[in-house]
Amino acid sequence: MLQKDLADAVGVTRQTINAIEKGDYNPSINLCIAICKALGKTLNDIFWEDDKNE
Amino acid sequence: MNKKGLDEMQIQKRNKIGNEAFIMIMYFLLIDAGLYGFGFRWIAYPANAITILAVCSGIYAARLIAGNAYAGPSENEKKPVLKTVFTCLASVFMAMLALTLIKTVRINDSQGINDLAAPIMLISGAIGIVVSVGISIIKRIQNKDHTE
């Protein structure tokens, strides 16, 4: 899925998604949940950093 | 999520830029008042405040556009050219309106305002051009940053 598609799905700009990916912006919990729903993943899968998922 | 208006990151940026612009206006006005106190007049009274406000507003708008906090997600589908043209026309119209009002009310020496009309119009037009060029350049740069 492209950044643009995800951005359209959750109602933010592509630059916001890009900033989240790069770690330049900390999203609100509502935006995190919306991203997880759009991607079909859990919060742990996407936002929890460990050895396997960084 | 709310698809109307700015998203949460844009709102944060807009608030930050707005606060800084407000402080900048206050400091410029204080510096202007201080210079006036020392006997240095760079422009007569109404024009100095208008110029400071116009410059700071231009900087505010340019920084908003540079920070991608001017148009929300729903605006990306629309063509920015029309919006840019309308912004330029509105800025020129506001400058003309301000000059007309100042001359009509006769707050101060209207001849001085007539002398300053051309520079103020030039500054307003220049700000409009800077905004429009900024929009096009930033859009190109941001669209190059596409990743998966």
Give the chain A residue nearest B3 (alpha carbons). Answer: A11
What contacts 24+ positions apart, CB below 8 Å, involve B12-16?
A: B13/B64, B13/B67, B13/B68, B13/B69, B14/B64, B14/B67, B14/B69
- Angstroms from B59 CA to nearest CA on chain A: 21
In a domain, B124, yes or no: yes
Asked if A11 lies within 8 A of B73 by C-beta distance, the reply is: yes
Q: Which domain holds residue B116?
A: 8-144
Q: Which CATH superfamily is domain A3-47 in?
A: lambda repressor-like DNA-binding domains (1.10.260.40)
Q: What is the mean pLDDT of chain A?
A: 87
Which residues of A are less than 8 Å from B3 in CB distance? 11
ipTM: 0.82
In a domain, B105, yes or no: yes
Asked if A7 lies within 8 A of B73 by C-beta distance, the reply is: yes
CA B21 to CA B147: how far, in whole Å? 32
Asked if A25 lies within 8 A of B2 by C-beta distance, the reply is: no
Which residues of chain B are at the A interface, by a Cβ-Cβ cutoff of 8 Å?
1-3, 7-10, 68, 72-73, 76, 142, 145-148
In a domain, B2, yes or no: no
Domain ranges of chain A: 3-47
Write the pLDDT tens digit of every residue in B76-117: 555 667 777 777 788 778 777 777 776 776 555 555 556 667
More confident residue, A42 or B47: A42
Q: What local confidence, expressed as pLDDT, does residue A54 receive?
A: 55
Stated pTM of the model = 0.62
Rounded percentage of chain A residues whose pLDDT exceeds 70: 93
In a domain, B42, yes or no: yes
Number of independent structural domains in chain B: 1
In a domain, B1, yes or no: no
- Angstroms from A43 CA to nearest CA on chain B: 17
Residue A32: band (very low, low, confident or very high) from pLDDT cuts 50, 70, 90 = very high
